[in-house]
Amino acid sequence: MYFIDLLQQIRVEQNPREFAAELFAECEEKFFENSYLDDLFPRGVSQASGLERRLNALCMRLTQELTQESFCLVPGLPMLWCASRKIPSWTIEAHLGHNVERAEMFGTMAVGIEGDIYEAPLSVKRALKQASGQATILVLPQELSLKIGRTMMHLCIRRGNRLEWSWTHRPPVVAKETRPRAVTVGPTLVYGKDRQARTVTSTSADQVARIGRAWTIVQEAWPEGHEVLTLLTARIIPLKAKGVVSFSYRHRPGLSFINCFDRDNLDLIDDLIHENSHHHLNLLLRKQILYHGDRNQQIFYSPWRRSLRPLRGILHAAFTFVIGAMLFERLSTWASGRGGSARWTQAGLTPHDLQRARFRCLEEVESVRYSIQDLEYADWHLKWLTGSGQRLVKQLAEAIEQVEHNIAPHRKTVLASTFGPALRRHIKELQQARHTYGPVRLGKV
């Protein structure tokens, strides 16, 4: 609806260049940056020429995708809808090729929200290949059919409350049975050397087992964190991608894309919690306004990106890496307890991993403490935080203080280890950054 509104605005806009510049800044600042900036501004700059055409194409694509996803959300509901409203038929344009964003394989249809898949027979896949994955779904009160080109084929029939599918049912692959729901694993996204997703393929049983084992470690080492993990993460999509970090979409809560091939077991645990913390913060941002007056000004130094970032970037990073520091501290405590060494080894982790977890915890403590000072400055001096934002920053400060207290006994050991030089270097870099950028002054805003 946002983009449809923009399309209506641009058609009567008197100053297209100004409109394009404002939209470009909006796309960079808000959630559209992850998916739609390249669609609207493929050159990476504010380009007014052709913007209406690109907006229209984006609206058409999103409309088709949303309609197709909505159609598959509740099995059988489209047929019941036609029957209840005495609609003789309804057609839906669909794309059944590889879908990177939804991690769906060619010739399959994801139905429901648990990860159930229906796979087309080979004859249908051949027809879809010739049609580049494009098809039309015909909805009748009692049945579904698929039209590819001029060929119509049966898809599903409704008999009372029961659905009978002509395609093969592929139940979701479960990595871990948890409450309130099991966490499932989808197909693997395979990337090329250019770090662009190329195809979608089946996920091996070994990777499913690794994810399940990582989930179990969180459950045993950090029960409180596990509760939040099971609440907010429902499905994992493995990434086979050299140099591509794990990620998630703001508009797809509960779905985490995790690099399982280019990362070790400790990294896998970290990535699961990191993406879950993004789901957590996105939920908070939907419920509350945490800041105002940011205006996308890149004036705060980020210890993680080693560059200047706007307030929202610092808030996001501080939140997610406080959670990361808590994870590493709990893993360290878990490994240090009675029988911890054996549990650590059984979990597929090494003594080197334990030392690295402690180093990562101390590293994140230093980084978060640096950014907490800037967030407090944004509150006290710039008045950019709302009441909700103030409470969140206070909670983050209290949490990182507790983590620092708990990890303190391991600080000397880490400094004396092979990780010592990296930790000292990190602390020195933060001291230099504070000296260079200092507290942000109103004159710089």
> Which one has a higher pLDDT value, 429 or 338?
429
DSSP line for 263-330: S-HHHHHHHHHHHHHHHHHHHHHHH---B---TT---EEETTTTEEE-HHHHHHHHHHHHHHHHHHHH
> pLDDT grade, residue 438 (50/70/90)?
confident
Mean pLDDT of the chain: 90
Q: What is the pLDDT of residue 442?
A: 44
Average pLDDT over residues 187-198: 88
Q: What is the pLDDT of residues 27-77, one digit of tens each?
A: 766 544 445 888 888 888 888 999 999 999 999 988 988 899 888 889 889
Q: What is the pLDDT of residue 33?
A: 40
Q: What is the pLDDT of residues 153-171, one digit of tens each?
A: 999 999 988 999 999 999 9
- Percent of the chain residues past pLDDT 90, beyond the cut: 67
Distance CA 102, CA 151 (A): 27
Q: What is the pLDDT of residues 285-296, one digit of tens each?
A: 889 999 886 656
Q: What is the pLDDT of residue 185?
A: 95
> Which one has a higher pLDDT value, 321 or 310?
321
Residue 166 phi/psi, 5° resolution?
Answer: -85, -20
Q: What is the pLDDT of residue 444?
A: 44
pLDDT reading at 409 higher than 90: yes
Give me 372's structure tokens.
């907490």
Give the start-to-end residue ranges of the domains of the chain. 2-69, 74-170, 174-271, 288-445
Q: What is the pLDDT of residue 105?
A: 92
> Which one has a higher pLDDT value, 168 or 337?
168
Task: Kindly report the number of other CB atoms within 10 A of residue 78's CB atom.
Answer: 23
Average pLDDT over residues 276-292: 92
Q: Quick check: 355 and 414 in contact, CB under 8 A?
A: yes
Task: Kindly report the number of other CB atoms within 10 A of residue 172's CB atom.
Answer: 17
Residues 6+ apart with CB under 8 A from 311: 291, 294, 297, 300, 375, 378, 384
pLDDT reading at 443 higher than 60: no
Q: What is the pLDDT of residue 24?
A: 85
Q: What is the pLDDT of residue 35?
A: 57
C-alpha distances out from residue 249 to 237, 254, 257, 411, Å: 12, 9, 9, 36
Q: What is the pLDDT of residues 101-111, one digit of tens each?
A: 888 999 999 99
Task: Give 138-202 as a 3 state SS string.
Answer: EECCCEEEEEECCEEEEEEEEECCEEEECCEEECCEEEECCCCCCEEECCEEEECCCCCEEEEEC
> The whole model's pTM is what?
0.87
Scan for tokens 């249809």, then name that residue.
Answer: 109
Please name which of 396, 389, 331, 319 lies closest in space to residue 360, comparing C-alpha atoms. 331
**Is residue 78 reached through a cis peptide bond, with omega within 30 degrees of 0 on the bond before it?**
no
Q: What is the pLDDT of residue 295?
A: 59
Average pLDDT over residues 201-221: 95
Distance CA 31, CA 281 (A): 13
Q: What is the pLDDT of residue 351?
A: 92
Average pLDDT over residues 163-183: 90
